[in-house]
């Protein structure tokens, strides 16, 4: 299971590098929160439920496009949609995810690895598995879910280091 910290910081880092962080930092910080929205289903004691399907979010995006002609609203709606998609994609690589529910009543997962056997020679062993299993939304009584892990904190530091450096340099260059 991907931790909440990475579901927030991965989109934050990507948006910070691709958009004007100096001008839009409040929007970037806010829209990155959408990366954790699908996991709110755990508060209902069901994890990886319909909140992990692309279908409801696509419907919401279409409704926003029908209701609002403002290009800025549309732009940030698409960005928010992509942030949520980042959550769903990450989850598909860590376990079964009902990405197309209710159109497809199965959950999908991907497992991709490359390992190396090092002896007198080096042998690479790539592995790609695509799994499909019936989607069953089952309530749980407890869930031990990671909010942050050592690896996640390290990845977050690495992802955000260029942004923090840029902000720090801009601050000191103004003085």
- How far is the C-alpha of 116 from the C-alpha of 2, rounded, in Å? 24
> pLDDT 10s per residue in the chain (175 long)?
689 999 999 999 999 999 998 899 999 999 999 999 999 999 999 999 999 999 999 999 999 999 999 999 999 999 999 999 999 999 999 999 999 999 999 999 999 999 999 999 999 999 999 999 999 999 999 999 899 999 999 999 999 999 999 888 888 887 6
Closest CA to 97 of 110, 112, 108: 108
| 51, 58, 33, 42 alpha-carbon torsion, rounded to 10° | 0
Q: How far is CA 47 from CA 26, 59, 128, 147, 153, in A?
A: 29, 21, 25, 14, 23
29, 175 Cβ separation under 8 angstroms: no
Report the C-alpha gap between 13 and 36 in whole angstroms. 15
Report domain extents, the chain: 4-105+137-174
């Amino acid at each position: 299971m991907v931790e909440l910290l990475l579901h927030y910081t991965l989109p934050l880092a990507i948006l910070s590098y691709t958009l004007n962080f100096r001008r839009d930092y409040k929007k970037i910080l806010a829209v990155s929160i959408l990366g954790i929205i699908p996991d709110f289903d755990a508060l209902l004691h069901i994890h990886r439920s319909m909140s992990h399907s692309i279908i409801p979010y696509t419907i919401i995006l279409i409704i926003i496009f029908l209701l609002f002609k403002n290009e800025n609203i549309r732009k940030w709606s698409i960005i928010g949609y992509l942030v949520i998609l980042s959550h769903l994609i990450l989850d598909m690589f860590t376990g079964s995810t009902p990405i197309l529910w209710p159109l497809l009543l199965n959950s999908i997962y991907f497992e991709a690895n490359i390992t190396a056997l090092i002896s007198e020679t080096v042998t690479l062993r790539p592995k790609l598995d695509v799994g499909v299993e019936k989607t069953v939304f089952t309530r749980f009584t407890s869930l031990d879910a990671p909010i942050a892990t050592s690896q996640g904190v390290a990845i977050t530091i690495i992802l955000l280091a260029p942004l923090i450096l840029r902000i720090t340099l801009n601050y000191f260059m103004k003085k």
